[in-house]
Structure 1
C-alpha cells in the first residue's frame, strides 16, 4: 500500500531550517588540482535538513510549510528555488548570505566530493525573530532539522522544543553536536533521529555493537528526553528505541551511489507514515526504504515515492 493513498494528503507539518543551502551538483570525468575542469551537468536545489524533509513529505502527499533563515542575494535565489519546487515557505530575514554547498561526482571513479560551508553568523535579534515566527506556526508536527549556524545559542532547539510543548505540538529533532544535545535537554521530544556517529558524539561512548547502540538509544527514552529514538547506521540498517524496547532492521538491499539526503528522506517518510496512523515499527520500516531510495542515484535528488514503495516491499518485515 502506498501511504499517500491513506489520508487524502491532509497531513500538515512545519519544518525549521536554520542554516539552509543552495545545493549545487556537478559531474566531471576526473578530478584534478589546479586545472580547470569542465562539468558534464549541473543541478540546483533548495537544501538544508528541514527543507529536504519538506520536499519529500510533499512528494508523499502531505502538506509542509518551511521556515528558514536566509539572507543576501543567495537568500533571494533560495526563495526562487523553493518557488520552483512549489513549497510553501516562511523566510526569516538575516543579514548574512545564505551558503552554497556543492557535490561533485567524479564519473571515472564513481566517488562523490562534497563541499559544505559553515554558513552565516546569526545575530541575537535574528534568532529571536525566528522564535517569534514559530509562536504562530500551525502544524501537527514541528520538525527541527539541520545544524546550528554560527552565532546561535547551543540551547536554541531546546527553546523551540519548550515553545512547542506549551502549544501541544510534537517535535521531531534531527541535528548534530550542540543542536542535538541542546534540543534533547529540554525533554519531551517526540522523535529524534541521530546517525550512529551523532549518537557516539552525544554519549561519548564507542557503541561498537548493536546492543550497545540500542542501550544508548533506550537511555534517551528512559530519561524522558525523547519518546522515540531512530538511529541510522548506513548499510548496517537502523535501530528504533521506544518505551516497549528496541527494534533493529537491516538496510534495504541496494547499491549506494551517494549519501546526499538519505537521513532527511528517512525522517520525512517515517514521519509521514506516523502522521497518517501507521504503527511505529512499520513507519520505521518505511523510513528505511526512503533512506535507501535517496542513495540509489548521485546526489542531486531526494527519495521519490515510486522508489520508496518498491524498496518498502523489499525491506525485511518486522518479526
Structure 2
C-alpha cells in the first residue's frame, strides 16, 4: 500500500468536555476532558493510520500553543513535517451537554499567515514523497484562496494523486484547477459551488457527475449527513443511505469518511467498496461524543450494515 501525505493549513488543538447543563454567566464544571490534534488533514491521517495505513502530516504550527499541538501529534504516533509560523495555533472546543444530549462546538478563525510562511509551506510540500496528497480543511487568514490549486499544479506533474476536502473559495479554486483524484464536498458545499439548491440525491448526483465529466475530478463523494452520501464516477452515480445510528458528535465525520475511502482504494478495492467503507468510517466517527474520530472496531461492525452496491 502506497503511503499518503496530508496537508493541514489551519490545524487545531481539539478539546472536548462534558457538562451537566449549559448556563450563561455561571461557572460550569466539566469532566471527561480530552485533548487531541485536529484539523482536516491531521484527522484524515489519524484514521488512515488506525486502519493500517501509513501517512505523513504536513501542517502549520506556531505561537505558544504550537508545541502543544506538536506533542499531541507525537502522542498519536503520526509522522510529521511541521512548517513553523509566528501565530498561535488555534484551540477548538466541543462541549457535550448531558442533560439534552446536544453538542456545542467553538471553532476560532485561526492565525493570520504571512506570505513568507505560506510560500515556505508550498516549498516543503513540493518535496513530498508520497502516492497521494490529501488537502483537507479550511485556509487560515492570509493564505490565498487558490492555495490548494497551487499545490495541485506543483504535485500533479509528479504523478501524485490529489484529494481535496475544503469549503468556500478554497474548494471552488481547487475543483476548477482540475486534476483531482477525489473531492469530497458536503451537500451544502456542493450547492455553494454550483450556485443553486440541490434537494435530492438525483440532483446532487447530476451536479457531481458534471465535475467528473468535465475532467476536474475522477471521483466526487458528496456527504449529506443523515440523508446519506452520493458518489459520482465515470460509470455513473451511486447512492448510499445513512446508517440508522444515534449520533453523539459531528466532529471529524467527513475526515473519517475520506480516510476510509482512501484506505480501501489504496488497498486495491473497487470504487463502490471504497464508498461503502467511507460511509462506515464517517458513521463510526459520530458514535461517541468528542474528538475520538472513527475506530477500526466500530468501522468493521458498521460496514456490515452498509447497503451492498
Q: State the TM-score, normalized to the length of structure 1.
A: 0.96
Structure 1: distance between partners of 2:290 and 2:189: 21
1:197 maps to 2:197:
no
Q: CA deviation at 1:244?
A: 1.1
Structure 2: distance between partners of 1:186 and 1:164: 12
Structure 1: distance between partners of 2:224 and 2:32: 31
1:240-289: CA deviation from partner (whole Å, max 9, x where unpaired): 00111100011122111111110000000100000110000000000000
Structure 2: distance between partners of 1:162 and 1:270: 24
1:136-156: CA deviation from partner (whole Å, max 9, x where unpaired): 101111000000111111110
| 8 A contact 1:148–1:178 mirrored in 2 | no
Q: CA deviation at 1:53?
A: 0.2
Three-state SS of the structure 2 residue aligned to 1:235 is helix
| 8 A contact 2:12–2:69 mirrored in 1 | yes
Q: Identify the residue that residue 260 of structure 1 maps to in structure 2.
A: 251
Structure 2: distance between partners of 1:78 and 1:34: 30
| 8 A contact 2:18–2:30 mirrored in 1 | yes
Q: Identify the residue that residue 220 of structure 1 maps to in structure 2.
A: 211
1:70-94: CA deviation from partner (whole Å, max 9, x where unpaired): 1111111100001111111000011
Give the counterpart of 2:128 among 137, 154, 158. 137
| 8 A contact 2:17–2:290 mirrored in 1 | no
1:108 maps to 2:108:
no
State which drifts further: 264-273 or 177-186.
Answer: 177-186
Structure 2: distance between partners of 1:122 and 1:67: 15
Structure 2: distance between partners of 1:58 and 1:211: 34
Q: Identify the residue that residue 280 of structure 2 maps to in structure 1.
A: 289
Three-state SS of the structure 2 residue aligned to 1:93 is strand
| 8 A contact 2:257–2:279 mirrored in 1 | yes
Q: CA deviation at 1:41?
A: 2.1
State which drifts further: 276-285 or 180-189.
Answer: 180-189
Q: Which runs of 5+ in 2 are unaligned?
A: none
Three-state SS of the structure 1 residue aligned to 2:123 is helix
Q: Identify the residue that residue 25 of structure 1 maps to in structure 2.
A: 16
Structure 2: distance between partners of 1:11 and 1:311: 26
Q: CA deviation at 1:235?
A: 1.1
| 8 A contact 2:165–2:171 mirrored in 1 | yes
Give the counterpart of 1:302 among 293, 296, 308. 293
Structure 2: distance between partners of 1:298 and 1:20: 20
Q: Identify the residue that residue 6 of structure 1 maps to in structure 2.
A: none
Q: Identify the residue that residue 250 of structure 1 maps to in structure 2.
A: 241
Structure 2: distance between partners of 1:300 and 1:239: 25
Alignment of 1:1-319 (within 5 A): 10-318=1-309
1:111-170: CA deviation from partner (whole Å, max 9, x where unpaired): 000000000011111110001001110111100000011111111000001111111100
Q: CA deviation at 1:11?
A: 3.4
Q: Runs of 4 or more off by more than 3 Å in structure 1? A: none
Q: CA deviation at 1:65?
A: 0.2
